[in-house]
Structure 1
């Protein structure tokens, strides 16, 4: 996993560098909220932000894992930074505003929100079965709708700080692939929504930037 995460981070940093002469020191002191950070990419991003000098609040469903990651962030960063977590289930859309406000209160405000959580489905052919159809709602709720809710509640805070929205997306949101119909529908939707939102923010001369990280295959 570490090797794959290093590749992802290198790609993210390269993208920032190509766009705006990225300097890691610019993240020192930033207030960062990361979703899906109890394991995998989100966990490693939390460590990297902490190491650079950012304050980090993370969220996921498993409190025991969040505690472990938060403690590791403390060891990675400095005493001046904030490290905390919010337990949340992204299927509960009505609670997302509370989740964002809790993170903002812990951080003192918000500079960067990283939307990374995902509901995984096994690779399978779409047969139109009842199981196929019943999976759509949960996939779209977690992998699409919750992203929109999180970004929307974060917008007023990011507007004040000229902040950033980072979406961890997938190559499956750019190119259709066999066995991924349910997964791809949400990823294509994310690309469409946030690409349109980026244009709207530019039209309004907003200081908020949007970055989509389009990842290929990541082994577990």
Structure 2
């Protein structure tokens, strides 16, 4: 009996050490690391019809490239049609995708009354949507007390209500086919409170809750729900971020020396998570990844560490500095 207990203890200790090493050296959570090594590759998504919102730049653009090179059929949406056409052209030029396999659908996430027509256009073209990637969104930078209620509403409209609006229109088609996959670009800010980004943090927490509930409801319809949670990533996110006053944007550029994940790597990991239909993934460099683990599995410890770090350090971590 003692030998059995010793073996169990030894096994648990070994797994703990291996897990800690993987977390410290990794750039994503353990399950995604395992999926990258032993799971399905994005090539398993060949011929899937994938709708990516916010695909004119940043993670959405890079994800479009990742999926086009494995043979997915794409719907590209964002507000800037000329940038969407540029991304489409890159997919055709670099990966040999047929022009007819990529549909450009300009879309503003806050113009809810235009979403039905966009969905109809997509269905008329492809007949279905296998994977909806809700990637469009905008960040926010301002003190909590100095952020107007109008900005709070605008952030929620873009990052939450726009996502719900489009998903509620696409979901019935998936339910009818008894197959589908909803993917949301959440954030580590959806797991941990990010100072000077209260509105954005609240919006991403809302996405987590809304779609965690949906995941259970559509399980019997063979529909998967994945929440992707990136940490600091290189993009144009700060250039168009909301501030505390309505009508203004941050217009801040990221520095090449920032400790941020490359956009291409984030898109690569996102594609792997989608291929393996993972429920939730954390995609971040350390110490952000480690802090996310602490906050998830020992909330008291995570919050204690966050307070001990203090405002300045937490702000630097959020900005990759």
Q: Structure 1 residue 210 and structure 2 residue 228: aligned?
A: no
| Contact kept? 2:178, 2:221, Cα under 8 Å | no
Aligned 1:16-165 pairs, distance under 5 A? 17=35, 21-75=39-93, 76-79=95-98, 82-121=101-140, 123-127=141-145, 129=146, 132-159=148-175, 160=177, 162-165=179-182
| Contact kept? 1:27, 1:54, Cα under 8 Å | yes
What is the CA distance between 1:15 and its match in structure 2?
6.9
Deviations 1:62-119 (A, max 9, x none): 1110110111112224338611211111111111121222222222311011000012
Bigger Cα Rg: 2
RMSD value over aligned CA atoms? 2.4
| Contact kept? 1:53, 1:81, Cα under 8 Å | no
Deviations 1:186-218 (A, max 9, x none): 10100000000101112xx11100011111111
Aligned to 2:214: 197
Q: Gaps spanning 5+ residues in structure 2: where?
A: 1-25, 236-321
TM-score normalised to structure 1 length:
0.85
Structure 1 runs (4+) deviating above 6 angstroms are: none
**In the alignment, which of 179, 183, 189 is matched to residue 196 of structure 2?**
179
SS in 2 for 1:209: strand
C-alpha distance in structure 1 between counterparts of 2:92 and 2:158, whole Å: 29
C-alpha distance in structure 2 between counterparts of 1:81 and 1:14, whole Å: 33
| Contact kept? 2:58, 2:234, Cα under 8 Å | no
Q: More strand by proportion, 1 or 2?
A: 1
Per the alignment, do residues 196 and 15 of structure 1 end up closer, same or farther by CA in structure 2, a change over 3 Å counting?
farther
TM-score normalised to structure 2 length:
0.60
Q: Gaps spanning 5+ residues in structure 1: where?
A: 1-6
Per the alignment, do residues 184 and 132 of structure 1 end up closer, same or farther by CA in structure 2, a change over 3 Å counting?
same
C-alpha distance in structure 2 between counterparts of 1:65 and 1:201, whole Å: 34
Deviations 1:143-185 (A, max 9, x none): 0001111111111222216111111110111111211101111
C-alpha distance in structure 2 between counterparts of 1:15 and 1:210, whole Å: 19
Aligned to 1:4: none
What is the CA distance between 1:25 and its match in structure 2?
2.8
Deviations 1:107-134 (A, max 9, x none): 231101100001232x22122x4x5211
